[in-house]
């Protein structure tokens, strides 16, 4: 796709509508300059870190997709106590995913993955404001509303149920814009790496794989064999960051989304369905 003086690999649904072409060209130029500060000094460590950041962002897109499907299931089942959680955490997944693609955000040995909710909201919408300040302000207000509604159910146990919970937002559009801004960033990063980086630096280190695949929360350790397997593939085959639409591949999406399907033999009726059901916010392969 040719737009704003550049060729784009992804077919954007919303991003090119919300930002005039001339302004988008300026935004792309400024962001590309920020990535160039990294890629002109591209090392094994930096390549490994950013490869893992791209992987983690693809997981955030897939996670938001599963949460959207869960939201629809909850709605059709009348499970109203769950809907504020699914809405908010779908939004938080994409906010975090966007933050991981921002060149000025330090990975800090994986600590960025634990970014506090409020900071994720602030950082993400400061970035969206590059494209449209009024839209960013509106979207930030929506994110805070989703957060407040989740907290209302979790902490206040309203006696009137969900009577006071609003729905004056388009969640699909909200998530699509966040996913596409992250994709936009990743395309500029890929181009900058191809232009500036020495291919000899294309290595993914065990250290960064371990930071993602094994986490400790409140003294409990969780190790994910699927993450180790997928990142092992990145280490062997992919070896460097590409844009999100290319970095994500069918095997990854099928396994991630399918892992949350109900057990039919046990009579569990939830299913994420076929790949045609996974396309609401991003072109999931």
pLDDT for the residue 1 = 87
Is residue 259 within 8 Å of residue 67, measured between CB atoms? no
Q: What is the pLDDT of residue 96?
A: 98
Instruction: Name the phi and psi angles at 264, rounded to 5.
Output: -60, -40
pLDDT in tens, 15-44: 999 999 999 999 999 999 999 999 999 999
Among candidates 228, 248, 224, 256, which has minimal Cα distance to 65?
A: 256
First and final CA of the chain: distance in angstroms?
18
Q: Which two tokens stand for residue 175?
A: 């998530």
How many Å apart are CA 279 and CA 253, to the nearest integer?
11
Structure tokens that stand for 60 in this block: 């955030």
Position 142 scores a pLDDT of 98
Q: State the Cα–Cα distance between residues 140 and 146, nearest whole angstrom.
A: 10
Token pair, residue 234, equals 């990145």
Q: Considering the chain, what is the average pLDDT of its residues?
A: 96
pLDDT of residue 265: 84
> What is the per-residue pLDDT across 175-219, written as a single tens digit (0 to 9) for each?
999 999 999 999 999 999 999 999 999 999 999 999 999 999 999
280 DSSP assignment: S
Instruction: Please enumerate in sequence order all residues whose Cβ is within 8 A of that of 22, keeping only pairs 6 or more positions apart, or say none.
Output: 4
* Chain segment 91-148, per-residue pLDDT in tens: 999 999 999 999 999 999 999 999 999 999 999 999 999 999 999 999 999 999 999 9
pTM of the shown model: 0.97
DSSP character for 13? Answer: S
């Amino acid at each position: 796709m040719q737009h704003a003086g550049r060729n784009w690999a992804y077919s954007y649904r919303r991003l090119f509508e919300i930002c005039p072409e001339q302004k988008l060209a300026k935004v792309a130029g400024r962001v590309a300059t920020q990535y160039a500060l990294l890629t002109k000094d591209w090392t094994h460590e930096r390549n490994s870190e950013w490869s893992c950041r791209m992987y983690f962002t693809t997981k955030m897109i897939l996670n938001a997709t599963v949460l959207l499907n869960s939201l629809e299931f909850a709605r059709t089942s009348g499970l109203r106590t769950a809907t504020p959680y699914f809405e908010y955490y779908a939004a938080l997944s994409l906010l975090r995913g966007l933050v991981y693609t921002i060149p000025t955000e330090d990975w800090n040995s994986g600590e960025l993955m634990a970014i506090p909710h409020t900071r994720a909201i602030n950082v993400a919408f400061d970035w969206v404001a590059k494209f449209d300040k009024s839209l960013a302000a509106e979207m930030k207000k929506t994110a805070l509303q989703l957060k407040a509604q989740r907290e209302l159910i979790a902490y206040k146990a309203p006696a009137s149920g969900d009577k006071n919970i609003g729905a004056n937002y388009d969640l699909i559009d909200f998530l699509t814009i966040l996913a596409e801004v992250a994709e936009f960033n990743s395309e500029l990063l890929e181009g900058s790496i191809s232009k500036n980086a020495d291919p000899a630096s294309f290595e993914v280190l065990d250290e960064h794989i371990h930071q993602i695949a094994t986490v400790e929360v409140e003294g409990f350790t969780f190790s994910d064999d699927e993450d180790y397997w997928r990142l092992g593939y990145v280490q062997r085959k992919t070896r460097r960051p590409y844009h999100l639409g290319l970095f994500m591949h069918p095997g990854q999406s099928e396994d991630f989304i399918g892992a949350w399907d109900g057990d039919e033999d046990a009579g569990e009726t939830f299913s994420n369905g076929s790949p045609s059901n996974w396309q609401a916010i991003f072109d999931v392969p």
